[in-house]
Structure 1
Amino acid sequence: MKRPLVCLTALLSLSLPFARAATLVGYAELPADTFAAGPASGAFADGLRGKPRFAGQPVQGFSGVQFGPGGDFLFLSDNGFGAKNNSADYLLRLYRLSLTAKTSPAAQGGVRVGTFIQLRDPDRRVPWLIVNEASPKRLLTGADFDVEGFAVAPDGTLWVGDEFGPYLLHFSADGRLLEAPLPTPNLAGLPTLRGQAPIVIGHRGSSGTRPEHTLASYRAAIEGGADFIEPDLVVTRDGVLVARHEPVIAVVDASGKVTEATADVANHPEFGSRLTTKKLDGVDVRGYFVEDFTLAELRTLRAVERLPALRGRAYDGQFQIPTLAEIIALVRDVEARTGRKVGLYPETKHPTYMQAAGFNTSQLLIDTLKKEGFTDPARVFIQSFETANLRDLRANIMPKAGVNLPLVQLVSSPDEAPYDWTARGDARKYGALTTDAALRDIATYASGVGPYKRWVIDERGQTTDFVRRAHAAGLLVHPWTFRNEPPYLLPSYAGDPEAEMRQALWAGVDGFFTDFPATGAKVVGQFTAPEVRSPQSPAFAQGASSSAANLGASGGFEGLSRSPDGKTLYALLEKTVAGDVPGQLRLHAFDLATRRWTLVGRYALEDAAHAIGDLTPVNATDYLVLERDNASGAAAKFKRVYQVSLTQKNPDGTLKKTLVADLMNVRDPQGLAPATRGGVFSFPYLTIENVIVLDASTLLVANDNNYPATGGRGADVKDRTEFLWLKLDAPLNLAAGVGRR
């Protein structure tokens, strides 16, 4: 099913006068069984070597085209026999072809295969083993790279796009590799406040997998990839900060039943007299409260799972209640052993309540952080649901202590209110903290805001403008709480917690709290891994483990082109990078002088199951893209040429595109092509991977025949390569240097 916005884009483009069927004005074809000199090939099947099937090298299939010398064309042959492990004897080459178009029924079209440029690495630029490692010539094969597009630089050198890495490959004009393959940086382009990578905050540790606020939970969070761990802090009777979500560690109803607990205190009859009822933020709560126990007494208790019906009791009774100092010691131990600098994100719980009990938790927190020497502002955020204590920290407590740590104003759901407001008779709710003026006020004392996630993504699953407005006030945004369990997910996510996290990241959040930090780290890692890598990347064979593959197999640079001024390469991925919106493909720019990569934008496929085939310039801001379905013969329905703008975008942020030619519906009034029926020519090959602008009104288009594939022109007919000269109904706005003048 197509996405609604994309469908609308397609319908609009079809309604434009520019988007009419093209006319076939020239035709030629190259028989499938066309071979060039070279070693026998086709000996491999699923990685196993047998007898060669072919006496030489298949000339086809072609995956890129550029103008060659003397009116000829250069065509790039791709990685060979359909898969990496089948193509170790398929040599990567650019073939010089002389094309003669059949322009009338009586004319004779033809294709003459001339010389070729053999791609090779005699200077050992490739830093990993290649098939012909021991050969002096080190000829490159389809098991080494999947080459899919190329461009000729102003200096005559060749730039080739690879799909395995994906890499950019730089060759001399005669095919000699000039430098090591250039990897593709992971330019996710997330709209965070300062363009920084989002952080993953282990909510109460890894509370989805271990009892919350235990050292085991914090350790699991760190091991899962959390950047920060969150200790909620309450105070013992003897003034020690310990980690519990609430001052009450077991809630008991009137019948004596424990309704919620984070410690097994109800199983300790020696503490039976501590059962009491207190007003916690104005609400009567009956249970056992931390401030009624000394630290020594708490040491005799053990943590239990707060949500046993959902998360079980496998770890009940195994872990103690930790102090803040012990949590800091854990973080230091991890740093000493691994070098990872994990941060702390403490919350002072119920400060007004604790103040009435005789404790200033803000002061205790700063005192403890100073005593433990953990006051690096890059590694600490202090958060609170109340406002007055944060203002006091900013104005008084931290300056007196010589400490300057970032503060975060938590914002709960609209039906709740900061208790310090309620306690002084202020009837406002948390919504009063979400206006533009309120956000600007928060920025006078805090560095960030921690909203309930429905302020960022509403109950309908729609992204709101909260993050944009908070960023406008200069505030970081760290929403809570992202959980893996279906009861916490909107129906639109279909049980996929990663989809919710991705949506939040695309909204621009600067981090998020999650009970499952391993999941959060995986999702953030898709955006922040240093490189885009397919499963076939040689980096994995060399032991790389810093990030998993984040691009589908052979999903690299299917489209590669040079700007008309010769200064920039444009490289379009064939598949969606993990974390990006399905069906959106990254278009990169690579500055040939500075070697700097930038993300131009994202090309939206009409259907996420489609693929692109080629990219070629029209002018400085407009390029042609081949887009196709993954079917051939009678099943093929979608093979098109689009013009895409590098500067104009759709409402969803994708690059604006316009239909130029429908290759399944080409007029052929002269009957130039053998497959034309009733004056209509269709081009139903699986992969159409070659397009170049001949002049303002004429394109040359050709298919990749995936030799020795069949099916395009009949179930048992070998796919040939067909070359189409297409006359457009409306001319393109060509830049100087584009086309063959």
Structure 2
Amino acid sequence: MKLTCVRLTALLALALSSAQAATLVGYAELKADTFAAGPASGAWNAGLRGEARFPSQPVQGFSGVQRDPSGQGFLFLSDNGFGARNNSADYLLRLHRVALTPATTARRAGQVSVGSFIELRDPDRKVPWQIVNEASPERRLTGADFDVEGFAIAPDGTLWVGDEFGPYLLHFSADGRLLEAPIGTPNLAGLPTLRGQSPVVVAHRGSSGTRPEHTLEAYRIAIEAGADFIEPDLVVTRDGVLVARHEPVIAVLSADGRVTEATADVATRPEFKDRARVKKLDGKDVYGYWAEDFTLAELKTLRAVERLPQLRGRAYDGRFEIPTLAEIIALVRDVEARTGRKVGLYPETKHPTFVTQAAGMNISQLLIDTLKKENFTDPARVFIQSFEVGNLKELRTRIMPAAGVNLPLVQLISSPDEAPYDWTAAGDKRTYGALTSDVALKEIAGYAAGVGPYKRWIIDDQGRTTDFVSRAHDAGLLVHPWTFRNEPTYLLPDYQNDPEAEMRQALRAGVDGFFTDFPATGARVVGQYTVPEVRSPQHHAYAQGVSSGAANLPGSGGFEGLNLSPDGQGLYALLEKTVAGDLPGQLRLMRFDLGRRQWTLAGRYALEPAGEAIGDLAPVNDHEYLVLERDNASGEAAKHKRVYLFNLREKNPDGTFKKTLIADLMNLRDPQKLAPSTTGGVFSFPYVTIENLLVLDARTILVANDNNFPATGGRGREVRDVSEFLWIGLDAPLKFAAGAGHRSAVRK
């Protein structure tokens, strides 16, 4: 580079004297058809091999830039080839040494000189899967093996390269030899659960959205769908057996005898027509058929029916029995024996005060007795829940200690207009809201392990996330809200009939699990956060047919931005696209500790509404970085090509990094007309991908495009895209740390 920083700064000061935008202070370009020595290339098209289109290896497009440690110019990383994996098996991955001399006046053209290259290869067979040049001694890597995007030079002189196919980190020697196996990307979703554990999916009454609730079939479907726990609501029979029903009343009748709600076909059975009666359920008169008025043998003659037929139909009415708790445990054990999968139980003691008054039985005692008899008392596989308070305290202080068991309890919290009935029966006027204060949550933690709030305590009726989860976590309580359903009638308008969006919002709020009528949906959403790795569709496990798990990162969404931290101790790697389950437009910034070989989630970067991807990441100092942000358009359609500054230490209320626009690449001042495309003193940079960013000094950044060789469209539909190099002067100086981005050149 011939132009000194002193002269660039002087030119910049002159150019910025009255400027309101970033200014082009230097320019150069490299013609599209620039080739380096190597074998012929371009023979592949959609996976089929034909005649080579090019006699050697194209130099472009460029997807990453660093200063050359030799002090002579720059190193540019070539992209993965001819636009797709199945077109690029003969494109060799390289870093090219490039000398740049910018045009600083209209009378002087910029110069670009391409010198030697570093070829990326795997002669020591570190890649554990088959590559294109598998059998050759040098095993030169191609664009069909990896999609290399960003790179950094470590203090020891070795090269670290970010890949999009995995996404992987690739570690090379200074001369391009792969030093270790590709390093995958862990799925560090960063969900703020109580102990960092994976959230659980609780099948609410089984898979009750697809089968009649509280039937063995509903539980079986739920387990197959991936539920971690199945929930039986428990009521008692006349002979003291616990069975699964939503309420003690198994069919509710109107005053004239019409069925208004039912979970069993009892109202159709003439032999039981005289069993209907009025009882006070939690202080309200209810007319219907009651479980405690039937023996188990009588209930076994009944069949389950859909409780919400207007919503879910009657296709399965009359097929399934009413199961006992013992039968549900037997089902869980059978699944475990056949599959090895350990599913838990999440029983609810329904209306303990009512059961004591109407049937003279202690439902909490019956539950513990049954669990002990069935030898199902593993505290990792049972939660006991109740809407009342007294029976949970009795379980904690008397019933469980006497039985020698210690199971986690969950205090259910209904809507603010309702109250625990044991409070109401005792004359206490408080409602469930009294259980949501910080003081109350700490009191609950004295007898329970968690709370099960109505979901509007977590996400209000305007769709806003509250502080309930964080306050409950501060008290040491797990949070398992209810109930998440797929039907539009249960969704807020902003979700646009997408039940997964509601579940994702709850997970981002930090819930430790949730109840859902559709456990298949719940398991899919939780799975997006809990699969071990972030994987694109081009991951080798899919390309070579060794994995059946779904990709959770869009294609070409990997480590587009990668750079060394200024202290030389870690790499910051920014994904180009959003991982499944994260908020749209939020990108994960990962940090890889070079000494510990350990990944952490550094935070999330939020794209602007017009932004669709990022192009590069460059350090300014130990806590500030620049990001190239772009849309997916080129030419006249291009609108959003920008450089932002963000701060690792400053975040927005939603947890994303705060950022500041420092250069709009579609609107750069060029008063000297350094670039041939400048019109009216304004320079625009309308390429689809702009993937090279480097801080030169406090006032100047270097930006260059990836020309997606041999693409057209940036400067005209029929114009072959060139590589353009921009020296951009900034209005305000960056807090640039000397050596940031090229620490290896100093310390090597």
TM bucket (normalised to shorter chain) is: over 0.9
Corresponding residue number in structure 1 for 2:524: 522
1:595-626 Cα offsets, whole Å, 9 max, x none, are 11111111111126421100111111011111
| Match of residue 142 from structure 2 | 141
CA offsets 1:633-664 (integer angstroms, 9 cap, x no match): 12212211111111111122111111121111
Equivalent-residue separation in structure 1 for 2:606 and 2:292 (angstroms): 57
Counterpart residue number, 2:277: 276
Secondary structure class of the residue paired with 1:97: strand
Name the SS of the counterpart of 2:165 in structure 1.
coil
Contact 2:566-2:741 within 8 A present in 1 as well: no
Deviation at 1:136, TM superposition (A): 2.2
Query: Could you say which residue in structure 1 is the equivalent of 2:74?
Result: 73
Distance between the aligned counterparts of 2:627 and 2:311, measured in 1? 49
Q: Which residue of 1 aligns with 2:22?
A: 22
Do the aligned residues in 2 keep the contact of 1:380 with 1:405 (CA within 8 Å)? yes
Does the 8 Å contact 1:612/1:625 carry over to 2?
yes
Counterpart-to-counterpart distance in 2, 1:189 and 1:546: 24
Residue pairs, 1:596-675, within 5 angstroms:
596-607=598-609, 609-675=611-677
Distance 1:739 1:153 in 2: 10
What's the CA shift for 1:48?
2.1
**Offset of residue 334 of structure 1:** 1.3
1:413-432 residue CA offsets vs partner (Å, 9 max, x unmatched) = 11111111111111221111
Partner Cα separation in structure 2 for residue 20 and residue 185 of structure 1 = 43
Contact 2:695 2:702 in 1 (8 A): yes
Q: CA deviation at 1:544?
A: 5.1
Distance 1:739 1:590 in 2: 16
Q: Distance in 1 between matches of 2:96 and 2:200?
A: 49
TM norm structure 1: 0.96
Equivalence for 1:193: 194
Cα contact 1:695–1:739 (8 A) shared by 2: no
Q: Secondary structure at the match of 1:506?
A: helix
What residue number does 1:473 align with?
475
Q: Aligned equivalents of 1:429 and 1:375: distance in 2?
A: 32
State the Cα distance separating 1:540 from its structure 2 match.
2.3
Alpha-carbon distance, 1:49 to partner: 2.0
What's the secondary structure of 2:443's corresponding residue?
Answer: helix
Deviates more, 1:496-505 or 1:688-697: 688-697
Deviates more, 1:708-717 or 1:555-564: 708-717
Secondary structure of residue in 1 paired with 2:658: strand
Q: Distance in 2 between matches of 1:35 and 1:592?
A: 35
Paired position in structure 1 for 2:422: 420
Could you tell me which residue of structure 1 aligns to residue 319 of structure 2?
318
2:265 equivalent in structure 1: 264
Counterpart check, 1:504 vs 2:506: yes
Alpha-carbon shift at residue 104 of structure 1 (Å): 2.1
Q: Deviations over 1:73-116 (max 9, x none)?
A: 11111111111122112111111111121222332321111111
Per-residue deviation, 1:437: 1.5
Cα offset for 1:438?
Answer: 1.4
Q: After TM superposition, give the deviation of residue 475 of structure 1 in Å.
A: 1.1
User: In structure 1, what is the equivalent of residue 240 of structure 2?
Assistant: 239
The residue that corresponds to 1:222 in the other structure is 223
Q: Which amino acid aligns with 1:202?
A: A
CA contact (8 A) 1:628 1:640 kept: yes
SS at structure 1 position matched to 2:243: strand
Deviations 1:169-193 (A, max 9, x none): 1111111111111110111111111
SS of residue paired to 1:525: helix
1:174 is the counterpart of 2:191: no
Report the AA paired with residue 598 of structure 1. T
1:256 deviation in Å?
Answer: 2.4
CA-CA distance at 1:546 after TM superposition: 6.6
Q: Secondary structure at the match of 1:362?
A: helix
Distance in 1 between residues matched to 2:438 and 2:373, nearest whole Å: 38
Alignment equivalent of 2:487, drawn from 479, 485, 488: 485
In structure 2, the partner of 1:293 is 294
Name the counterpart of 2:61: 61
Q: Is this contact kept in 1: 2:619–2:741, CA < 8 A?
A: no
Aligned equivalent of 2:537: 535
Distance in 2 (alpha carbons) for counterparts of 1:371 and 1:314 = 36
SS at match of 1:495: coil
Report the 3-state secondary structure (helix = DSSP H, G, I; strand = E; otherwise coil) of the residue aligned with 1:457.
coil
Unaligned 5+ segments in structure 1 are: 1-16
> Residue 600 of structure 2 aligns to a residue in which SS?
strand
Amino acid in the other structure paired with 2:29: E
- Paired with 1:275 and 1:70, the residues of 2 have a C-alpha distance of 92
Deviation at 1:565, TM superposition (A): 1.5
Shift of 1:628: 1.2
Alignment correspondent of 1:587: 589
SS at match of 2:184: strand
**Aligned-pair CA distance for 1:711:** 1.3
Cα distance in 2 for partners of 1:51, 1:100 equals 37
Are 1:679 and 2:671 an aligned pair?
Answer: no
| SS of residue paired to 2:705 | strand
Q: Distance in 2 between matches of 1:552 and 1:533?
A: 8
State the distance in 1 between where 2:305 and 2:123 align: 64
| Aligned-residue identity in percent | 78
User: Paired residue for 2:40?
Assistant: 40
| Equivalent-residue separation in structure 2 for 1:368 and 1:588 (angstroms) | 49
Write out per-residue CA displacement over residues 543-598 of structure 1, whole angstroms, 9 at most, x where no aligned residue.
Answer: 45574211111100000000111111000000011111111100011000001111
- 2:212 corresponds to which letter in structure 1? P
Counterpart residue number, 1:364:
366
Q: Which amino acid aligns with 1:397?
A: I
- Is the deviation greater in 276-285 or in 731-740? 731-740
Using the alignment, how far apart are the partners of 1:540 and 1:20 within structure 2? 49
Where in structure 2 are there 5+ consecutive unaligned residues? 1-16
SS at 1:185's partner residue? coil
Distance 1:478 1:545, change over 3 A: farther
User: Cα RMSD between the aligned structures?
Assistant: 1.6
Regions of 4+ moved over 3 Å: 17-20, 541-547
Deviation at 1:160, TM superposition (A): 0.5
User: Residue 577 of structure 1 corresponds to which residue in structure 2?
Assistant: 579
Q: Which moved more, 1:20-29 or 1:54-63?
A: 20-29
Query: With structure 2 as the length reference, what TM-score do the two structures score?
Result: 0.95
Aligned residue for 1:122?
123
> How big is each residue's C-alpha offset from its partner over 1:429-467, in whole Å with a ceiling of 9 and x where there is no partner?
111111222111111111111111111111111111211
Amino acid at match of 1:292: D
Amino acid at match of 2:581: G
Q: 1:207 & 1:545 partners in 2: Cα distance?
A: 31
Which amino acid is the alignment partner of residue 278 of structure 1? Answer: K
| 2:48 is the alignment partner of 1:52 | no
**Contact kept? 2:132, 2:144, Cα under 8 Å:** yes
Could you tell me how far apart the structure 1 residues matched to 2:169 and 2:246 are?
51
Describe the SS at the equivalent of 1:704: coil
Instruction: After superposition, give the CA deviation of every residue in 1:314-350 in whole Å (9 maximum; x if it has no partner).
Output: 1111111111111111111111222211111000001
**CA distance, structure 1, for counterparts of residue 741 and residue 406 of structure 2:** 61
Q: Which residue of 1 aligns with 2:338?
A: 337
- State the shift of 1:738 in Å: 2.5
8 A contact 1:696–1:739 mirrored in 2: no
2:611 and 2:683 mapped to 1: Cα distance?
Answer: 24
Counterpart residue identity of residue 586, structure 1: R
Partners of 2:638 and 2:686 within 8 A in 1: yes
Query: Corresponding residue for 1:159?
Result: 160
**Residue type of the alignment partner of 1:48:** L
Q: State the distance in 2 between where 1:584 and 1:264 align.
A: 50
Deviations 1:152-177 (A, max 9, x none): 11111111101111111111111111
Q: Over residues 248-305 of structure 1, what are the superposed CA-to-partner deviations in whole Å (9 max), with x where a residue is unaligned? A: 1111223322221111112222222222221111122222111111111111111111
Distance 1:286 1:596 in 2: 63
Residue 95 of structure 2: aligned partner: 94
2:711 aligns with 709
